[in-house]
Protein backbone atom coordinates (compact mmCIF):
# COMPACT_ATOMS: atom_id res chain seq x y z
CA UNK A 1 0.00 0.00 0.00
CA UNK A 2 1.02 3.61 -0.50
CA UNK A 3 1.72 5.61 2.65
CA UNK A 4 1.74 9.37 2.19
CA UNK A 5 3.56 11.18 5.00
CA UNK A 6 3.61 14.93 5.51
CA UNK A 7 5.70 17.11 7.79
CA UNK A 8 4.60 20.66 8.61
CA UNK A 9 5.75 23.20 11.17
CA UNK A 10 2.27 24.56 11.77
CA UNK A 11 3.26 27.41 14.15
CA UNK A 12 0.21 26.93 16.44
CA UNK A 13 -2.14 24.05 15.68
CA UNK A 14 -5.13 25.71 17.35
CA UNK A 15 -4.69 28.77 15.18
CA UNK A 16 -4.35 26.76 11.96
CA UNK A 17 -6.43 23.59 12.41
CA UNK A 18 -8.70 24.73 9.58
CA UNK A 19 -5.69 25.04 7.28
CA UNK A 20 -4.62 21.50 8.19
CA UNK A 21 -8.15 20.30 7.37
CA UNK A 22 -8.02 22.05 4.00
CA UNK A 23 -4.64 20.54 3.20
CA UNK A 24 -5.76 17.07 4.27
CA UNK A 25 -8.88 17.31 2.09
CA UNK A 26 -6.82 18.36 -0.93
CA UNK A 27 -3.87 15.95 -0.58
CA UNK A 28 -5.15 12.99 1.49
CA UNK A 29 -2.09 12.23 3.63
CA UNK A 30 -2.10 9.06 5.69
CA UNK A 31 0.17 10.57 8.35
CA UNK A 32 0.84 14.22 9.15
CA UNK A 33 3.67 15.22 11.49
CA UNK A 34 3.26 18.68 13.01
CA UNK A 35 5.79 20.82 14.85
CA UNK A 36 5.42 23.92 17.00
CA UNK A 37 1.89 22.96 17.98
CA UNK A 38 2.28 25.41 20.93
CA UNK A 39 -0.19 23.72 23.26
CA UNK A 40 -0.33 21.11 26.00
CA UNK A 41 -1.54 17.60 25.21
CA UNK A 42 -5.05 18.20 26.53
CA UNK A 43 -5.39 21.47 24.58
CA UNK A 44 -4.72 19.79 21.22
CA UNK A 45 -7.82 20.07 18.94
CA UNK A 46 -8.25 16.29 18.70
CA UNK A 47 -11.85 16.40 17.45
CA UNK A 48 -10.82 18.47 14.45
CA UNK A 49 -8.41 15.70 13.46
CA UNK A 50 -11.07 13.04 13.97
CA UNK A 51 -13.31 15.05 11.66
CA UNK A 52 -10.62 15.24 8.99
CA UNK A 53 -10.06 11.48 9.08
CA UNK A 54 -6.87 11.40 11.16
CA UNK A 55 -8.15 10.10 14.52
CA UNK A 56 -5.00 8.34 15.73
CA UNK A 57 -2.73 10.74 17.61
CA UNK A 58 0.69 10.81 19.25
CA UNK A 59 1.20 14.15 21.03
CA UNK A 60 4.05 15.67 22.99
CA UNK A 61 2.88 19.12 23.99
CA UNK A 62 4.15 22.04 26.03
CA UNK A 63 2.49 25.21 27.26
CA UNK A 64 2.94 28.01 24.77
CA UNK A 65 6.11 26.74 23.10
CA UNK A 66 7.49 23.95 20.95
CA UNK A 67 5.40 20.76 20.91
CA UNK A 68 5.00 18.06 18.27
CA UNK A 69 2.12 15.83 17.20
CA UNK A 70 1.65 13.01 14.73
CA UNK A 71 -1.85 12.34 13.37
CA UNK A 72 -2.68 9.25 11.34
CA UNK A 73 -5.51 7.76 9.34
CA UNK A 74 -4.14 4.35 10.35
CA UNK A 75 -3.66 3.01 13.88
CA UNK A 76 -0.58 4.14 15.78
CA UNK A 77 1.62 2.11 18.09
CA UNK A 78 3.84 4.18 20.40
CA UNK A 79 7.44 4.29 19.22
CA UNK A 80 10.57 4.33 21.37
CA UNK A 81 11.06 7.29 23.70
CA UNK A 82 14.40 8.92 22.87
CA UNK A 83 16.44 10.96 25.35
CA UNK A 84 17.52 13.78 23.04
CA UNK A 85 16.60 17.15 24.55
CA UNK A 86 18.77 17.95 27.54
CA UNK A 87 16.38 20.73 28.51
CA UNK A 88 13.39 18.40 28.65
CA UNK A 89 11.41 20.36 26.07
CA UNK A 90 8.65 18.86 23.93
CA UNK A 91 10.65 18.39 20.75
CA UNK A 92 10.09 14.81 19.63
CA UNK A 93 7.44 12.11 19.42
CA UNK A 94 7.73 8.65 17.89
CA UNK A 95 4.99 6.52 16.40
CA UNK A 96 4.83 3.26 14.46
CA UNK A 97 2.41 3.18 11.53
CA UNK A 98 2.14 0.13 9.25
CA UNK A 99 5.49 -1.06 10.62
CA UNK A 100 7.26 2.24 9.88
CA UNK A 101 8.96 3.90 12.87
CA UNK A 102 8.29 7.60 12.40
CA UNK A 103 10.29 10.10 14.44
CA UNK A 104 8.79 13.58 14.36
CA UNK A 105 11.20 16.30 15.58
CA UNK A 106 11.33 20.00 16.18
CA UNK A 107 15.08 20.46 16.59
CA UNK A 108 16.18 23.66 18.39
CA UNK A 109 16.75 26.65 16.14
CA UNK A 110 20.03 27.50 17.85
CA UNK A 111 19.83 31.22 18.55
CA UNK A 112 21.90 33.80 16.69
CA UNK A 113 25.57 33.13 17.49
CA UNK A 114 27.10 29.99 15.92
CA UNK A 115 29.42 29.24 18.82
CA UNK A 116 28.84 26.46 21.35
CA UNK A 117 30.77 28.17 24.14
CA UNK A 118 29.24 31.62 23.71
CA UNK A 119 25.68 30.52 22.90
CA UNK A 120 23.96 27.82 25.00
CA UNK A 121 21.14 27.60 22.44
CA UNK A 122 23.60 26.64 19.70
CA UNK A 123 25.20 24.06 21.98
CA UNK A 124 21.73 22.67 22.71
CA UNK A 125 21.06 22.29 18.99
CA UNK A 126 24.31 20.46 18.24
CA UNK A 127 23.88 18.28 21.34
CA UNK A 128 20.44 17.24 20.07
CA UNK A 129 21.90 16.19 16.73
CA UNK A 130 24.75 14.33 18.43
CA UNK A 131 22.41 12.38 20.70
CA UNK A 132 20.14 11.49 17.79
CA UNK A 133 23.05 10.37 15.60
CA UNK A 134 24.39 8.20 18.42
CA UNK A 135 20.98 6.58 18.89
CA UNK A 136 20.49 5.92 15.17
CA UNK A 137 24.01 4.56 14.90
CA UNK A 138 22.98 1.76 17.25
CA UNK A 139 19.95 0.76 15.18
CA UNK A 140 19.61 -2.15 12.81
CA UNK A 141 20.17 -0.73 9.29
CA UNK A 142 17.41 -3.02 8.05
CA UNK A 143 14.83 -1.25 10.25
CA UNK A 144 12.17 0.87 8.52
CA UNK A 145 12.84 4.25 10.14
CA UNK A 146 11.75 7.71 9.00
CA UNK A 147 13.19 10.88 10.52
CA UNK A 148 11.06 13.90 9.77
CA UNK A 149 10.15 17.34 10.99
CA UNK A 150 11.60 20.80 11.26
CA UNK A 151 15.26 19.89 11.64
CA UNK A 152 16.23 23.58 11.48
CA UNK A 153 19.20 23.07 9.16
CA UNK A 154 19.36 23.82 5.45
CA UNK A 155 22.15 21.41 4.50
CA UNK A 156 22.99 22.16 0.87
CA UNK A 157 24.15 25.08 -1.22
CA UNK A 158 20.85 25.01 -3.09
CA UNK A 159 18.75 24.77 0.09
CA UNK A 160 19.40 28.44 0.90
CA UNK A 161 18.85 31.63 -1.02
CA UNK A 162 22.50 32.69 -0.76
CA UNK A 163 25.08 30.08 0.21
CA UNK A 164 28.00 32.45 0.88
CA UNK A 165 25.99 34.79 3.07
CA UNK A 166 24.05 32.07 4.91
CA UNK A 167 27.23 30.14 5.76
CA UNK A 168 27.71 32.66 8.56
CA UNK A 169 24.09 32.47 9.77
CA UNK A 170 22.67 29.87 12.14
CA UNK A 171 20.78 27.23 10.11
CA UNK A 172 23.48 26.84 7.43
CA UNK A 173 26.82 27.09 9.26
CA UNK A 174 29.54 24.47 8.73
CA UNK A 175 29.08 23.09 12.27
CA UNK A 176 25.37 22.48 11.72
CA UNK A 177 25.87 20.99 8.28
CA UNK A 178 28.49 18.62 9.72
CA UNK A 179 26.14 17.60 12.54
CA UNK A 180 23.38 16.88 10.07
CA UNK A 181 25.77 14.92 7.84
CA UNK A 182 26.78 12.75 10.80
CA UNK A 183 23.14 12.01 11.53
CA UNK A 184 22.51 11.15 7.90
CA UNK A 185 25.49 8.78 7.83
CA UNK A 186 24.55 7.11 11.13
CA UNK A 187 22.03 4.79 9.47
CA UNK A 188 22.54 5.63 5.81
CA UNK A 189 19.47 7.86 5.56
CA UNK A 190 18.26 9.22 2.23
CA UNK A 191 16.87 12.74 1.88
CA UNK A 192 13.65 11.85 0.03
CA UNK A 193 12.93 15.38 -1.14
CA UNK A 194 16.36 15.80 -2.74
CA UNK A 195 16.02 12.30 -4.18
CA UNK A 196 12.90 13.53 -5.98
CA UNK A 197 14.13 17.06 -6.75
CA UNK A 198 17.92 16.95 -7.16
CA UNK A 199 20.41 19.79 -6.97
CA UNK A 200 21.00 22.32 -8.43
CA UNK A 201 17.30 23.26 -8.25
CA UNK A 202 16.73 25.75 -5.46
CA UNK A 203 14.27 24.37 -2.94
CA UNK A 204 12.89 26.02 0.20
CA UNK A 205 10.28 25.13 2.83
CA UNK A 206 10.52 28.25 5.03
CA UNK A 207 10.24 31.96 4.27
CA UNK A 208 10.38 34.80 6.77
CA UNK A 209 7.24 36.72 7.63
CA UNK A 210 9.27 39.91 7.08
CA UNK A 211 8.77 39.68 3.32
CA UNK A 212 5.41 40.98 2.10
CA UNK A 213 5.68 38.66 -0.91
CA UNK A 214 7.69 35.53 -0.08
CA UNK A 215 7.96 34.47 -3.72
CA UNK A 216 9.25 37.85 -4.86
CA UNK A 217 11.85 38.03 -2.09
CA UNK A 218 13.06 34.49 -2.78
CA UNK A 219 14.88 34.38 0.56
CA UNK A 220 13.93 30.93 1.70
CA UNK A 221 15.54 27.99 3.49
CA UNK A 222 14.88 24.24 3.30
CA UNK A 223 14.53 23.40 6.98
CA UNK A 224 11.86 20.67 6.83
CA UNK A 225 12.90 17.15 5.92
CA UNK A 226 11.83 13.54 5.35
CA UNK A 227 14.71 11.07 5.67
CA UNK A 228 14.35 7.36 5.04
CA UNK A 229 16.47 4.46 6.24
CA UNK A 230 17.79 2.18 3.46
CA UNK A 231 14.84 -0.22 3.49
CA UNK A 232 12.40 2.69 3.39
CA UNK A 233 14.33 4.33 0.59
CA UNK A 234 13.78 1.16 -1.42
CA UNK A 235 10.09 1.38 -0.49
CA UNK A 236 9.93 4.97 -1.69
CA UNK A 237 11.46 3.91 -5.03
CA UNK A 238 9.23 0.85 -5.41
CA UNK A 239 6.64 2.51 -7.62
CA UNK A 240 9.15 4.37 -9.78
CA UNK A 241 10.71 7.81 -9.21
CA UNK A 242 10.40 8.99 -5.62
CA UNK A 243 7.30 11.11 -5.08
CA UNK A 244 8.19 13.95 -2.71
CA UNK A 245 7.54 17.68 -2.82
CA UNK A 246 7.29 20.98 -0.99
CA UNK A 247 3.74 22.37 -1.06
CA UNK A 248 4.85 25.98 -1.33
CA UNK A 249 1.40 27.13 -2.48
CA UNK A 250 0.23 26.67 1.13
CA UNK A 251 2.65 29.40 2.23
CA UNK A 252 0.47 31.81 0.20
CA UNK A 253 -2.73 30.98 2.10
CA UNK A 254 -4.26 33.59 4.40
CA UNK A 255 -2.43 33.84 7.78
CA UNK A 256 -0.09 30.95 6.95
CA UNK A 257 2.65 29.32 8.94
CA UNK A 258 6.07 30.51 7.85
CA UNK A 259 6.77 26.87 6.88
CA UNK A 260 5.17 24.96 4.00
CA UNK A 261 4.14 21.29 4.23
CA UNK A 262 6.51 18.72 2.75
CA UNK A 263 5.33 15.27 1.63
CA UNK A 264 6.69 11.93 0.48
CA UNK A 265 5.07 8.65 -0.62
CA UNK A 266 6.25 5.22 0.48
CA UNK A 267 5.13 1.76 -0.66
CA UNK A 268 4.85 -0.38 2.46
CA distance 236 to 234: 5
Domain boundaries, the chain: 2-267
Per the confidence metrics, is the pTM higher than 0.95?
Answer: yes
Per cent of the chain over pLDDT 70 is 100
CA distance 96 to 63: 26
137-156 pLDDT, tens digit per residue, is: 999 989 999 999 999 999 99
CA distance 72 to 69: 10
Ramachandran area for residue 163 (φ above 0: left; ψ -120 to 50: alpha; else beta): alpha
Q: Which of 43-57, 161-175, 203-217 has the lowest mean pLDDT?
A: 203-217
pLDDT band at 212 (very low <50, low <70, confident <90, very high): confident
235-266 pLDDT, tens digit per residue, is: 899 878 999 999 999 999 999 999 999 999 99
Q: Is 2-267 assigned to CATH 3.60.10.10?
A: yes
pLDDT band at 75 (very low <50, low <70, confident <90, very high): very high
Q: Please report the pLDDT score of residue 211 as a whole number.
A: 85
Q: Please report the pLDDT score of residue 77 as a whole number.
A: 97
Amino acid sequence: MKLRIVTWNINSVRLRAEQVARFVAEHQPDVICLQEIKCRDGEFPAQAFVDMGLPHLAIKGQKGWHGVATASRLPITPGPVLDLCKRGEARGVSAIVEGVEIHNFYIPAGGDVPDRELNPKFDHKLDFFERLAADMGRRDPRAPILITGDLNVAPGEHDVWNHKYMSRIVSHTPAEIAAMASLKASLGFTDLVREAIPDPQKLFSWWSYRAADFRASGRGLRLDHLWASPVLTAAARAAGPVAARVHDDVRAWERPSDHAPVSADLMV
